[in-house]
Amino acid sequence: MRDLETAQLRALAELVALLSQVVHAIGFTAKLKPAQWATLRYLQKVNPSARTLTEFSRANAITKGAASQMIKALRERGLVSFEPSTEDLRSKRIDLTDLGRRHLDDDPLNLIVAALRKVEPGNRKAFAETIEVLLRDPFVIELNNPKARQRLAKARKSLQRAPTE
C-alpha cells in the first residue's frame, strides 16, 4: 500500500514538474525570456512609486545589478522607459511604453489562463490550495525569506479576489 501511494505521489510530482517546464517554456515568446515577461507583469501591476530599480530588485529578491541589466534589455527593446521619480529626485521611475503594454496583451500566461478556464471553479480552488501547500513546504520554498512570503501572500490575495464563474 505504501509503495502504491509513493508511486502515485511521484507521478503527481512529475506532473507538477512538467507543468512548471511548460510554463517556463512558453515564456520564450516574442523574443523575450520568462524573467523579462515577469518584469513587464510587475511593472503593469504595481503602483508608480514601486516602479524604481531599487523597489523592483527588492520585490524580486535580485541584486540591483541584475535588475539593472533586465531593465536595460527591456529599454533597448522599447518596452520600458525612464521618467524622473516624483517621490525621489535621485531615482527614476520605470514605466511601460505603449509597445510594452501591447506585448502584455500577448502575455504567454494567457495560454495558461485559457486552459484554467476549462477547469471547474471548485477544482480551481482545490488546485490553488494544493499549490499553496507545496509552496509553503520548507523544502520547496525558503520560509525565512520575507520576499518569498510576500509573493505568496500577494498570490493568495489575488486568488481570493478572482471572480468565480
Q: 82: which strand partners?
A: 94
Query: What DSSP string describes 127-138?
Result: HHHHHHHHHHST
Q: 45: which strand partners?
A: none
Q: Is 2-118 a CATH 1.10.10.10 domain?
A: yes
Q: According to the model, what pLDDT value does residue 91 have?
A: 79
Instruction: Estimate to the nearest angstrom the gap between the alpha carbon of 107 and the chain centroid.
Output: 11
> pLDDT class for 135, splitting at 50, 70, 90?
confident
Residue corresponding to grid cell 477544482: 123
Q: What percent of the chain has pLDDT over 90?
A: 49
Q: What is the mean pLDDT of residues 136-144?
A: 64
* Interval 71-118: pLDDT, tens: 999 999 999 998 877 777 677 899 999 999 999 999 999 999 999 999
* Interval 14-33: pLDDT, tens: 998 899 899 999 999 889 99
Rounded Cα–Cα distance for residues 24 and 12 (Å): 18
Domain boundaries, the chain: 2-118, 119-165
> pLDDT class for 165, splitting at 50, 70, 90?
very low
Rounded Cα–Cα distance for residues 110 and 107 (Å): 6
pTM here is 0.75
Cβ burial 96-123 (10 Å sphere, 16+ → b, else e): beeebeebbeebbbeeeeeeeeeeeeee
CB atoms within 10 A of CB 74: 22
